[in-house]
Amino acid sequence: MPTEFSMLAAAIDADNGPLPPFIARLIQHAPESFDDARAGQVAAVVRAMRAAREPVNLATVGGNCPQFLSFIVAELSEPMSPEAAEHYAPDIWQAYEIRRAAAIGEDLVNGLGTTPEKAKALIAAARSALNHIASEANPLVEHLAARLYSPAVKPEEPEPRYFIGTVGICTPANLTTISAQAKAGKSAAKSAMMAATFAGPSMDCLGFQSQNPHGYAVVDLDTEQAPFDHWNVIEQARRRAGAERVPAWLQSYCLTGFTVADVRGSIRITLEQAARQFGGIHSVFIDGVADAARDVNDPAEAGEFVAELQRLAIEFDCPILNIIHVNPGSENGKTRGHLGSQLERKSETNLRLEKDDQGVTVMWADKNRRAPIPKSTGPRFAWCDSAGMHISTESRQSSREADTIQGLQTEAEAVFTAAGKSAICYGDFITFLTSEVHVSKSTAKRRVGQMLKVGVITKEASGFYVFTTT
Position 141 scores a pLDDT of 64
Under CATH, which number does the domain 162-391 receive? 3.40.50.300
Q: Quote the crossing angle between the two packed helices 82-114 and 2-13, to the nearest 10°.
A: 120
Question: Which of 389, 326, 322 lies closest to 354, judged by CA?
Answer: 326
Q: Is the dihedral angle over the CA atoms 248, 250, 256, 259 positive or is it negative?
A: positive
**Residue 137 — pLDDT band, cuts 50, 70, 90?**
low
CA distance 206 to 186: 12
pLDDT in tens, 267-297: 999 999 999 999 999 999 999 999 999 999 9
- Residue 423, SS3? strand
Position 185 scores a pLDDT of 86
Is residue 203 over pLDDT 50? yes
In this structure, the number of other CB atoms found within 10 A of the CB of residue 407 comes to 14
- 12, 58 Cβ separation under 8 angstroms: yes
Alpha-carbon dihedral 141, 147, 152, 153, rounded to 10 degrees: 130
The per-residue DSSP string of 256-309 comes to TT--HHHHHHHHHHHHHHHHHHHSSEEEEEEETGGGG-S-TT-HHHHHHHHHHH
**Residue 46 — pLDDT band, cuts 50, 70, 90?**
very high
Poorest-confidence range of 125-139, 179-193, 239-253, 449-463?
125-139
DSSP-assigned letter for residue 365: B
CA distance 167 to 145: 34
**Residue 397 — pLDDT band, cuts 50, 70, 90?**
low
**Residue 160 — pLDDT band, cuts 50, 70, 90?**
very high
Is residue 396 over pLDDT 60? no
- 210, 161 Cβ separation under 8 angstroms: yes
CB within 8 Å of 383: residues ≥ 6 apart: 359, 389, 390
**Residue 174 — pLDDT band, cuts 50, 70, 90?**
very high
Identify which of 31-35, 215-219, 313-317 has the greatest average pLDDT: 215-219
Q: Mean pLDDT, the chain, as a whole number?
A: 87
Pick the more confident residue, 271 or 181. Answer: 271
**Residue 308 — pLDDT band, cuts 50, 70, 90?**
very high
Position 336 scores a pLDDT of 73
Exposed/middle/buried for residue 137 (C-beta within 10 Å: 0-12, 13-18, 19+): exposed
Is residue 332 over pLDDT 70? no
Position 347 scores a pLDDT of 92
CB within 8 Å of 34: residues ≥ 6 apart: 4, 8, 26, 40, 43, 92, 96
Q: What is the pTM of this model?
A: 0.61
Every domain range in the chain assigned CATH 3.40.50.300: 162-391
Position 358 scores a pLDDT of 87
Position 1 scores a pLDDT of 45
Burial 31-68 (b: 16+ CB within 10 A, else e): bebbebebbbbbbbbbbebbeeeeebebeebbeebeeb
**Residue 339 — pLDDT band, cuts 50, 70, 90?**
very high
Indicate the helix (H) or strand (E) that contains 459.
strand 457-459
Position 333 scores a pLDDT of 63
Pick the more confident residue, 140 or 260. Answer: 260
Whether residue 31 has a cis bond before it, omega within 30° of 0: yes
Is residue 345 over pLDDT 50? yes
pLDDT in tens, 204-244: 999 999 999 999 999 999 999 999 999 999 999 999 999 99
Q: Is the dihedral angle over the CA atoms 402, 403, 408, 410 positive or is it negative?
A: positive
Is residue 121 over pLDDT 80? yes
Every domain range in the chain assigned CATH 1.10.860.10: 2-147
Exposed/middle/buried for residue 390 (C-beta within 10 Å: 0-12, 13-18, 19+): buried
DSSP-assigned letter for residue 116: G
Is residue 378 over pLDDT 50? yes
Every domain range in the chain assigned CATH 1.10.10.10: 398-467
Identify which of 84-88, 251-255, 349-353, 359-363 has the greatest average pLDDT: 251-255
DSSP-assigned letter for residue 201: T
Pick the more confident residue, 19 or 253. Answer: 253
**Residue 430 — pLDDT band, cuts 50, 70, 90?**
very high
CA distance 5 to 34: 9
Position 322 scores a pLDDT of 96
**Residue 109 — pLDDT band, cuts 50, 70, 90?**
very high
CA distance 243 to 247: 9
Position 282 scores a pLDDT of 97
Identify which of 38-47, 122-131, 148-157 has the greatest average pLDDT: 38-47
- Residue 160, SS3? coil
In this structure, the number of other CB atoms found within 10 A of the CB of residue 88 comes to 17
CA distance 44 to 48: 6
Q: What is the mean pLDDT of residues 182-203?
A: 91
Identify which of 20-34, 296-310, 443-457 has the greatest average pLDDT: 296-310
Q: Quote the crossing angle between the two packed helices 37-51 and 2-13, to the nearest 10°.
A: 10
**If you classify domain 398-467 with CATH, what class do you get?**
mainly alpha
Position 51 scores a pLDDT of 86
CA distance 198 to 211: 7
Position 255 scores a pLDDT of 96
Indicate the helix (H) or strand (E) that contains 61.
helix 58-64
Position 267 scores a pLDDT of 95
- 370, 168 Cβ separation under 8 angstroms: yes
pLDDT in tens, 77-103: 777 777 778 877 888 888 888 998 999
Position 390 scores a pLDDT of 92
Position 138 scores a pLDDT of 65
Position 250 scores a pLDDT of 97
Position 80 scores a pLDDT of 73
Domain 2-147 has CATH 1.10.860.10: yes
- 320, 309 Cβ separation under 8 angstroms: yes
